[in-house]
Amino acid sequence: MVRVERKWRTFPGRNRFYCDGRIMMAHHTGIFCLTVGLIVLTCGLFFAFDCRYLAIHITPVIPAVAAVLFVFVMATLFRTSFSDPGVIPRASSDEAADIERHIEVPNGTHSTTCRPPPRTKEVVVNGQSVKLKYCFTCKIFRPPRASHCSICDNCVDRFDHHCPWVGNCVGRRNYRYFYLFIVSLAFLCVFVFSCVITHLVLLSRDGTFVDAVRASPASVVEGVICFFSVWSILGLAGFHTYLTTSNQTTNEDIKGSFTAKRGQDNFNPYNHGSVCINCLSVVCGPVPPSLVDRRDRKSVV
């Protein structure tokens, strides 16, 4: 019996889909929920117990700035988490068979009992030779900068890394939103921490610091969360700013893809030679359409 189903229901990767395929996430989303919970909890306490006092005694601009930062952080987080990061569709049976026919097996061996050695092709990108690796799972030659995510079981274009904190892979289609998320989160964390300390200091003017803590215990909770979070967030924001200015990915930086090897010159062919142009190309460049038509229909036997 043949039935018609949405493609996301038979998607071969390890992903979860919501809202009839409109939202695409990794299979495990527990840490993502923790991320949302920590941000909402901290900002909720801040708006409830600190903003009123600071607006009256300092300036009403403080709640407005906090609200703008909070909305921007949550918007970029959800945009990163709920979108297709740049998944490359797997080859169909006919396409895979055609690719296999054109691949030369090393030493002329045709064993069916063991996998042949890794197979590659070389292309030239801006004068630099780049290897295209064959993916045995997706049955395709991965494009330059693409990699296979072992967690989601997909090849992702311009793969940066799999981030459990956002519950998704980070790739070509959502990296800019991920970068904006961590940078804005760093600003929000520093802003809230500064305001909390200011609130406690102002309260302690009429007594001791212990009295201030007793008067606003929620401020202590916010301060502790921000203090232990801000260092890793600032470090992550700084690292990805470095990657953005040099037009690299986390995957390329960790593997040392563009470092000199065995005395041979090796340079980044994607570097535009300018920090500003690199940033603009990453943050403001066009977002390619999704290659995974997950809401289309197909016949299933």
Q: Which helix (H) or strand (E) holds 128?
A: strand 128-135
Decide: helix, strand or coil at residue 148.
strand
Q: Which of 167, 82, 95, 85 is nearest to 138 (CA)?
A: 95
Catalytic residue status for 163:
yes
Q: Where are the beta strands (DSSP E) in 95-177?
A: 120-125, 128-135, 140-141, 147-149, 154-156, 161-163, 168-170
Look up residue 31 and give its DSSP letter. Answer: H
- Write down how long the chain is: 301
- Is residue 174 within 8 A of residue 79, CB to CB? The reply is yes
Q: Which of 135, 138, 163, 226 is catalytic?
A: 163
What are the backbone angles phi and psi of residue 120, rounded to the nearest 5°? -135, 160
Q: Which helix (H) or strand (E) holds 122?
A: strand 120-125
User: What is the gyration radius of the CA atoms in the chain, in angstroms?
Assistant: 24
Looking at the annotation, which residues are catalytic?
A: 163
